[in-house]
Structure 1
Amino acid sequence: MDGSSTSTAPVRVTASIPVGTPGKHRGFLTIPHSRDESAWGSIQMPIISIANGEGPTLLFTAGSHGDEYEGQIALMKAAQWLEPEMIRGRVILLPSLNHPAVCSATRLSPIDGLNMNRVFPGQRDGTVTQMIAHYVYSELLPLVDVVVDLHSGGKTLEFVPSVIMHALPDSDLHARTLAALKAFDAPAAAILTELDSEGMLDTAVETLGKVFISTELGGAGTATASSVAVAERGVHNLLRHFDVLQEDRQSDHRGRAEPGRILHTPEGGAFVISRDAGILEMLVDLGDEVVAGQAICQVHHFEDVDRPPSVYRSAIDGILWCRHVPGLVARGDCVAVIASDYPQS
């Protein structure tokens, strides 16, 4: 079962609020979910719309993976403080995009086992995850100018808190996205080459020619005061960058004009994949500088204790941008990502 759309019929997901009409509206998306426990049951997923006057429309999403918390917290806070008289334009908030995964604190939906960020543009007649993606793609993306999808490392990864974009072939779209990337004001920014981009919300939005910004804001299955602060400041700064926010809520949300460092993940050297199963020992810490050939981690073979650990080295110069969190790793796990400075003209 793939994530492709198979029908042009109206969406099956319905909103309890008039999305985009003037004022502040809090409600739910109703996603049909008939099951043994509830024959006419549904999933009730929160949605918030704040609109006032003419201006751009920004869609903020979080909780695409249920074990990623910084974005969820930042958007729930924004739903409380953001008022119509403060903006010109429209802001749509989906704090728990994969609501079943958020409720179970899992990366994938416990209902259908799908990854929300691999099923776009979704399916009207698909599973719960695919129906949500189909609603977002069919009903919300045509309304919006900018999409901001807030991620972090979840239970299995931890990142240097970063704002992210992709290298885009359209030079104008690349420039507009890069300006937003800098305005977000994260400790680092990354122009990311994905291991797999099929079915991503990112790709769906970029293909429509619209600005898409994402993040990796920490992880390790939790949220810290500093990582949540990055998320909150970023939401605030993007609202100001796109001239939607007309009134500052608090002066302490104003950040630097651009991130401290712009990085990228060059093909053929950034991702370090384990060829072994065992116990992971990191030899450098998150954010540390590394050079090509340097040992960055090793995997100990706990069932063959007289065998020396397998050492993994960086293929490039850069920093340890991301690391595997659980101590036990399997063959094929990504144990580290090295990011290097992005070449700028």
Structure 2
Amino acid sequence: MRRRKRKQAQAGDYSRKHCTNGGRPVSETPHLTFDIDQPGMSKGHLVVPKGADCEALPLPVFSLNKGEGPRLLITGGCHGNELEGPIVARRLIDWLPEAQTCGRVIVVPVLNPPAVQAWSRNTVVDGLNLNRVFPGRADGSVTERIADAVSRLLLPMADIVFDLHSFGPNWDLPPSSTTHPIADADLMAKTVRMAEAFKFPMTLVWEHHDTSGMFDMLAHSQGKVFVCAELGGGTVGSEALAIYEVGVHNALIALGLVEGKAERPAFRQHKSNQTLETRSSDELKSPARGIFEPRCSVLDEVKQGDLIGILHPMDSLSANSIDLRASTTSIVCAIRSGAHVDVNEVVALLARPQSLKIYGG
């Protein structure tokens, strides 16, 4: 409770410092404060213009330009309660300038400062999810203006995007590189190969029902390879961060941006990489309100009828606990890490080996 009040106070502090009710119109266009094309390491800000709801936001940007080669954009902090991404992005700045051999890497550690400062998934100013409003609007609210600035100024500079997430605090998910199904079979194959290059314990092609306005969908529509890195657990831990950083380093090696030999990090005694797919029909949902108790772990192989978890109703004296079981042979790729859930809320994601051919079209 104290932590929640502290975060709410921080959100209020942010609004008082940066946001207004003065009804002022957007007074400028998004712009970079430095010459991003200059050779070597350079840094400055992507300025998101002020609007009626918020003052201008300067997003720190690092550019590492070593000439010809792949053009990569790395972003973190899209969701404010997923902090591994910003940490790993800043770690890259410590060693990548010396290690990079070619190409250009643009790093934006925090896309959404208001959300990160409030430890909130959505932007505290307008309540919007940044990863559901791309390509954004120049005359929109602050979240839409952030998306507009990134879409107009940074995305065109890249052929490949790594967006660093961490799945949120209420889920357990192994370090994973993820993408969504892509109709273009060639782009789908390139994207899966890039995702596999991270050598995380799991590569996941995730059919998601809520993809409108997502950053990767915009990039895919422009023919760009986009990989989202994810992990779960609710806390920022040293082991997970180490695996995360190794995975990004592996992907940079695969692109030829740095030299070296890829590593395959171990996670809970798992050292192999699996490429899986999960569809909307693979979501295991709660049949009632209650507290969900997980009874298996991520990467467990389960058969039809195996126990995934138990739902404990808490608002009835007569309701029995409900067993939630696997409907088919599958692999547990994500599971709620113990939480109060509502009716029809997802509590687990199940998956199976991935096949590219079903996505061609």
What is the TM-score of this pair, normalised by structure 2?
Answer: 0.84
Matched-pair contact (CA < 8 Å) for 1:162–1:190: yes
Shift of 1:10: 11
Gaps of 5+ in 1: 1-8
Equivalent-residue separation in structure 2 for 1:84 and 1:50 (angstroms): 10
> What CA deviation, in whole Å up to 9, does each residue of 1:297-337 have, x standing for no partner?
12111121331012222223222211123521122321111
Judged with a 3 Å threshold, the aligned counterparts in structure 2 of structure 1 residues 138 and 181 are, in CA distance, closer, same or farther, namely: same
Equivalent-residue separation in structure 2 for 1:276 and 1:340 (angstroms): 27
Find the counterpart in structure 2 of residue 174 from structure 1.
188
Helix, strand or coil: the match of 2:197?
Answer: helix
* 2:237 is the counterpart of 1:237: no
Equivalent-residue separation in structure 2 for 1:338 and 1:94 (angstroms): 32
Helix, strand or coil: the match of 1:74?
Answer: helix
- Which moves more between the two structures, 257-266 or 42-51? 257-266
* 2:333 is the counterpart of 1:321: yes
* 2:238 is the counterpart of 1:225: yes
Aligned-pair RMSD on alpha carbons? Answer: 2.4
Equivalent-residue separation in structure 2 for 1:210 and 1:344 (angstroms): 18
Find the counterpart in structure 2 of residue 255 from structure 1.
263
4+ residue runs of structure 1 moved beyond 3 angstroms?
32-36, 256-259
Equivalent-residue separation in structure 2 for 1:259 and 1:121 (angstroms): 36
Find the counterpart in structure 2 of residue 342 from structure 1.
354
Equivalent-residue separation in structure 1 for 2:98 and 2:263 (angstroms): 23
Shift of 1:211: 0.6
Helix, strand or coil: the match of 1:186?
Answer: coil
Candidates 311, 314, 318, aligned match of 1:306: 318
Aligned residues: 327
Find the counterpart in structure 2 of residue 59 from structure 1.
73
One-letter amino acid of the counterpart of residue 79, structure 1: I
One-letter amino acid of the counterpart of residue 45, structure 2: F
Find the counterpart in structure 1 of residue 38 from structure 2.
21
Judged with a 3 Å threshold, the aligned counterparts in structure 2 of structure 1 residues 201 and 10 are, in CA distance, closer, same or farther, namely: farther
Shift of 1:139: 1.4
Helix, strand or coil: the match of 1:82?
Answer: helix
One-letter amino acid of the counterpart of residue 255, structure 1: E
Matched-pair contact (CA < 8 Å) for 1:278–1:299: yes
Find the counterpart in structure 2 of residue 216 from structure 1.
230
Find the counterpart in structure 2 of residue 3 from structure 1.
none
Find the counterpart in structure 2 of residue 75 from structure 1.
89
Shift of 1:212: 0.8
* 2:128 is the counterpart of 1:114: yes
Candidates 150, 153, 156, aligned match of 1:136: 150
Judged with a 3 Å threshold, the aligned counterparts in structure 2 of structure 1 residues 16 and 295 are, in CA distance, closer, same or farther, namely: same
Shift of 1:52: 1.6
> What CA deviation, in whole Å up to 9, does each residue of 1:224-253 have, x standing for no partner?
2222122211221222211222x45xx7xx
Find the counterpart in structure 2 of residue 6 from structure 1.
none
Equivalent-residue separation in structure 2 for 1:286 and 1:16 (angstroms): 44
- Which moves more between the two structures, 45-54 or 325-334? 325-334
- Which moves more between the two structures, 183-192 or 41-50? 41-50
More helix by share: 2
Residue identity (%): 35
What is the TM-score of this pair, normalised by structure 1?
Answer: 0.87
One-letter amino acid of the counterpart of residue 31, structure 2: T
Equivalent-residue separation in structure 2 for 1:206 and 1:47 (angstroms): 23
Find the counterpart in structure 1 of residue 4 from structure 2.
none
Judged with a 3 Å threshold, the aligned counterparts in structure 2 of structure 1 residues 34 and 344 are, in CA distance, closer, same or farther, namely: closer
Gaps of 5+ in 2: 1-25, 266-270
